[in-house]
Amino acid sequence: MKKSILFFAGLSLLVSACNNPPAPTNGGEQETAITQADQDLLATAKTFFQPMPSEALNPENPLTEPKIKLGKMLYFEKNLSVKSTQSCNTCHNLSAFGVDNLPTSPGDNGIPGTRNSPTTFNSALRTAQFWDGRNKDVEEQAGGPVMNPAEMGMPDKKVVEERLNTLGNYKALFAEAFPGVAEPVSFENMQKAIGAFERTLLTPARFDQYLAGDVNALSADERTGLKSFIDNGCTACHMGSLLGGNMMMKVGLFGDYNQMMKAVTPDYGLYEQTKAEADKGMFFTPGLRNVEKTGPYFHNGGISSLPEAIKIIAKLQLNKDLTDAEAQSMATFFNSLTGDIPEDVKKDPFAGL
């Protein structure tokens, strides 16, 4: 009798398993049989890309909970702009993958700037900041917009420090974040705190599971797009853990990029800073993490369609005329680069106050 019960219990479990297959890992599709071609593609992908690191550390700015907490408050603090209308989050909205989805962002003066606002997610892993790569890290970058007349417009560092010394409980928060410092409220410590917070803004995605060996973390269509991305030579600029974000590159090797990107006013990249002829058209290569969410695209935000942006950059840099199908296939692959943003990251610390 006991054997019969065990037999039928096992049969019931088998039927249940057949009727309820394991949840797919690739966002909706059932797992597919892994072919040798799939294994070969994964092996090739591993030569160009690395999984997202679990941390983005800076030995010159150790991460502590008080510093990260302060950094988040400063990231959302509108009083860091001259008219108290703008915060870091205004242009780099953490509820919208770190961007505002505008071609260019208006500053505290209400006038749109000249360059598209890059995402702050994963930016701490970049080897330089801004479209022209003029800052080395997120700590240095954090001070730029505060002082830029076209952005937050503060007149000098002393005014920033005076505001922070009189606002809320910032004096206590700075003292906790920077213990043992005689004057903890400083412009430089503001930069360090914001930088520390931004170093926590990492978004691992399904592509990382794929690189770890789970072929079915990507759908068959996404794997086709990945193969096209590699085969067409896009990895010349977009490699590493961010699929970019690690090098300067001259844009427009095979065409007029200002024209193709629909730039109203020509922008010559690093040349605008240095005036050196060799720097004309030099821009820092953006990473492609969360790219499906961070449009419009390019330094001027001139292109709203991701497949169109793919076709334009392929022509400009590789002299390749991609078909609509090829561009859409690559855009489908980019879906696997989109990570999740925890709700506590999105939450405005000043909401309801």
Could you tell me the CA-to-CA distances from 344 to 69, 190, 201 in Å, in that order? 12, 21, 11
Place of tokens 């990029």: 257
Measured CA to CA, the distance from residue 147 to residue 151 in angstroms comes to 8
Tokens of 94: 């953490």
Q: Could you tell me the maximum CA-CA distance found in the chain, to the nearest angstrom?
A: 90
Which of left, alpha, beta for 80 (phi over 0: left; psi -120 to 50: alpha)?
Answer: alpha
Q: Is 151 a catalytic residue?
A: yes
| Annotated active-site residue in 139, 151, 161, 222 | 151
- Give me the active site residues, please: 151
